[in-house]
Structure 1
Amino acid sequence: MKAWLVLIAALAFGVAPFITEGFAGFRPDQFPIPQDDAPVQPAGYAFSIWSVIYLWLLLHAVLGAFKFAKSPGWEATRLPMIVSLSIGAVWIKVATLSVIWATVLIWAMLLSALWALFAARNANPGWALRLPVGLYAGWLTAASFVALGLVGAGYGLGSGPGLGQVGWAFLALTGALAVTLIVLSRTRVWTYGFAAAWGFAGIIVQNLGSSPGVAIAAVAATLLVAGSVLKQLRR
Structure 2
Amino acid sequence: MKIRAIFLLCLAILFAMTPLMLPGFDGYDPEDFPVQILRPAVQPAGYAFSIWLLIYAALILHAGFGLLARDMDPVWDRPRGLLMAAMVCGILWVAFAEDLPVVATIVILTMLAGLLAALRQTSAAQDRLWLMAPVALFAGWVTAAAGAATGVTLAGLGWLSDTAAAVAMILAVLVLAAAVQWRLGRVPEYGAAVIWALIGIVAANWGLNATVAWLALAGAAVMLAVTLLAAARGRAA
Bucket of the pairwise TM-score, normalised by the shorter protein: over 0.9
Aligned twin of 2:99: 97
Q: Any idea what the Cα deviations from partners look like across 1:104-148, whole Å, max 9, x if unmatched?
A: 111111111111111003454111111110000000000001111
Counterpart AA for 2:29: R
Match of 2:65 in 1: 63
Unaligned runs of 5+ in 1: 158-162
- After superposition, the CA RMSD in angstroms is 1.4
Counterpart pick for 1:138 among 128, 134, 140: 140
What residue in structure 1 maps to residue 150 of structure 2?
A: 148
Give the paired residue count.
230
Alpha-carbon separation, structure 1, partners of 2:49 and 2:26? 6
Counterpart position of 2:172: 175
Structure 2 unpaired stretches of 5+ = none
What does 1:9-158 align with in structure 2 at a 5 Å threshold? 9-21=11-23, 23-157=25-159
Q: Deviations over 1:191-230 (max 9, x none)?
A: 1111011111111011101110111110111001111222
State the identity %: 34
Measured after TM superposition, the shift of residue 23 of structure 1 is: 4.2
Instruction: Find the aligned partners of 1:231 and 1:186 in 2 and give their Cα distance.
Output: 11
Write out per-residue CA displacement over residues 122-175 of structure 1, whole angstroms, 9 at most, x where no aligned residue: 454111111110000000000001111111000011xxxxx2000011100010
**TM-score, with normalisation over the residues of structure 2?**
0.93
* Shift in Å, 1:38: 1.1
TM-score normalized by the length of structure 1:
0.93
Cross-structure match for 1:166: 163
Task: Tell me, in whole angstroms, the C-alpha distance in 1 between the residues paired with 2:227 and 2:48.
Answer: 19
Name which of 209, 226, 235 aligns with 2:207: 209
The DSSP-based 3-state class of the residue aligned with 2:63 is helix
Tell me the equivalent position of 2:191: 193
| Greater Cα offset, 18-27 or 50-59 | 18-27
In structure 2, give the amino acid aligned to 1:16.
T
